Structure 1
């Protein structure tokens, strides 16, 4: 066995892809999750002797302490994810995204290692034509962005940790989310054949869910060299506006019609482009292009409907 991994929120979108990779690589994995969305995202792994699932809240001090003490690695995935979901319940966003992380860090010994995912939405609104790198100022414009930025600072101040600032994630997973931008627009293309876009010039970066999970594995495998650093994780050829994203989808769904509204605003005001050169310099490379992800989503959407596959 390579080591013991504790993942809070491990039954979610990222965890449903990451957990099997860890098990396959020889780690023992314990997941703490409230499984509030009712998904059986980890059910296939119940027979694995190195896997354990604990139903509980990441804010439950006694529960988390019971499992944190034996972990070699800790990956805090539990979060209220996305600006809309955090705006709906700001108290939960703060208590889960920030307070629970601080509580968990306080339980760990100095030799326990942390892999921490945050959002590159902390960059807020960038400057036109200038790539945000890890030294760029953080200017979060949502409760989601602010809580994740504050949590990252707590993690990096504690030390013995790597933080990954994730681009907007896309792709199919056992615990699916359709409310993410690529996933959402592709669903609309497949089901509705149309979408109305607000502020279509706003840009952001994107990354496939499986490349995120493999990025975590890369950080664990290269931990000594990467320790104590923050890394952007995204597709360097996918710094796209919403209109450019729709054009990519239309290449595979020709009947898709998209229109930019002349009035109205997007509540998510993020607008920036991102450099992923620092992470790429460590040897990490994404394996899934945006085009591959769109093709995957089109196939996946033939199997599901959107009644339950979103956070808001």
Structure 2
């Protein structure tokens, strides 16, 4: 079935990968983005008649309301993503990550479908074994995670919504982000040859950006049985510590050195192991391993410079 899909923030890290996939699936896609980072990451789909783009702001009702009215499906990707960026611009973070979503929820009908990325960073540190399922208590640490928890609570009041609690995303995208952990550590391995680790035993889960796109398309194709639910989305074999991540990178870059600092504290205190059993039970499978993602990042970093491709 073909849908009219509105993707806010569709020229960002996730959207620049997802939008071409949605077009390839036969959907009509409208992107609303303010192009804050000066990106031209959707140039390659401008020739497609089913693609439309609007330069606008999700916080302005006059920009978003007419687009919502025409959509069958809304995928709200527009956000200031990550704790450091949200801390640097708390007003922007609140108005984009929270207020704009609340406005969207007031504008959508009960018949429209919403597929939204939230975050598994909401778990904070999990239970006494650091293990988390979708039913685990939420203990968000950063303002970013706190806002996402509030938004998800509102989102789940909508009868046709799906929330995808994403693991830490990695991999090459037309609108690259170097500041994400796997991307960052691999960049440091390629460019600097070394990294210093604070609290290297802290664990988290990871997911490739193309598998995020696949999860959303899976949710759209299986919407009737998945709607009204929350799903963790990550690699089940990639619940690993920062030290283990460095060891994974080192397998491909043997000269990479990492040092575990005896003193110091990581400002990001997340530490958890996440179960992805629920979404896998719907038939979803990932295609991209951590090893293959590191391999593609190493290739990509021969072309990129960090100062242009981070959110901070």
Q: Would the TM-score normalized by the shorter structure come out above 0.5?
A: yes
SS at match of 2:310: coil
CA-to-aligned-CA distance 1:143-199 (integer Å, 9 cap, x gap): 000001111111111221110000000000000000000000000000100001111
CA contact 2:196–2:260 (8 Å) conserved in 1: yes
Equivalent in the alignment of 2:67: 67
CA distance in 1, matches of 2:96, 2:307: 25
CA distance in 2, matches of 1:110, 1:212: 25
Equivalent in the alignment of 1:44: 44
Q: Does 1:305 align with 2:305?
A: yes
CA contact 1:4–1:27 (8 Å) conserved in 2: yes
CA distance in 2, matches of 1:87, 1:94: 10
CA distance in 1, matches of 2:88, 2:187: 23
CA distance in 2, matches of 1:84, 1:261: 21
CA distance in 1, matches of 2:196, 2:131: 28
SS at match of 1:69: helix
Farther-moved stretch of structure 1 (157-166 vs 121-130): 121-130
Deviation at 1:260, TM superposition (A): 1.2
| Backbone CA RMSD of aligned residues | 0.9
SS at match of 1:104: helix
Equivalent in the alignment of 2:90: 90
CA distance in 1, matches of 2:56, 2:264: 40
CA contact 1:128–1:272 (8 Å) conserved in 2: no
Equivalent in the alignment of 1:155: 155
CA contact 1:203–1:240 (8 Å) conserved in 2: yes
CA contact 2:172–2:296 (8 Å) conserved in 1: yes
Deviation at 1:125, TM superposition (A): 1.4
Equivalent in the alignment of 1:214: 214
CA-to-aligned-CA distance 1:65-97 (integer Å, 9 cap, x gap): 011101000000000100111111111111111
Equivalent in the alignment of 1:260: 260
